[in-house]
Amino acid sequence: MKELLHPDLEYVLYTKEEIARRVEVLGEMITQEYRGKELLCVGILKGAVVFYADLIRAIRCELATDFMAVSSYGASTQTSGTVRIVKDLNEDIAGRDVLIVEDILDTGLTLHYLRRLLMERNPASIRICTLFDKRERRAADIQADYVGFQIPDAFIVGYGLDYAEKYRNLPYVGILSSRVYAK
């Protein structure tokens, strides 16, 4: 069934079918890599939850789950540059193979900080899987090991991604109209 476009969006960037196909491919790649290892998937709240829920079901090897919440943009579309841990992991990651699952890698400041923090806890490895990557916006020295889609510099919402806590429940991903954040 064709989705009606939300009036605050310019257009749909990826449909729910396109996202689902890509998530399956990412799941297969991760399955190949982590078979026989101690995979711990760490979802970054809240933006990654929708992607995370689909991704772990596309991974066909044993895994454990955990979540972290870090402060991010608030109601603006610009990064503040400061990262605060709002919720830490429950699991001890020493000796484990950690896969950080993120919705979108933008300036990279958040994940750069997070990776450094988790490295101090002596995991066997840390890799990053992000659904979206705005590579041209990168300000920190970080890249993802698994990327769903490379996207241009535009503000996107849906499939977990928000603007001022809205639009997370859209099943597709679209470009937010500048009318909305110019208000």
Please give the positions annotated as active site: 106
Residue 132 and residue 149 in contact, taking contact as beta carbons nearer than 8 Å: yes
Nearer to ligand IMP, 97 or 106 (CB): 106
Nearer to ligand IMP, 37 or 168 (CB): 168
* Binding test (CB under 5 A) with Mg ion, winner from 9, 40, 41, 47: 47
Residue 65 half-sphere exposure, CB side, CA atoms within 13 Å?
A: 11
In the chain, which ranges are continuous DSSP H helix?
16-34, 49-58, 109-119, 178-182
Show the beta-strand stretches assigned E in the chain. Answer: 9-14, 39-45, 64-70, 85-87, 97-105, 125-133, 146-150, 156-157, 173-176
* Binding test (CB under 6 A) with ligand IMP, winner from 26, 42, 96, 106: 106
Nearer to Mg ion, 14 or 67 (CB): 67
* Binding test (CB under 6 A) with ligand IMP, winner from 15, 31, 65, 79: 79
Interaction site with ligand IMP (CB under 6 A): 47, 72-73, 79, 102-110, 155-157, 161
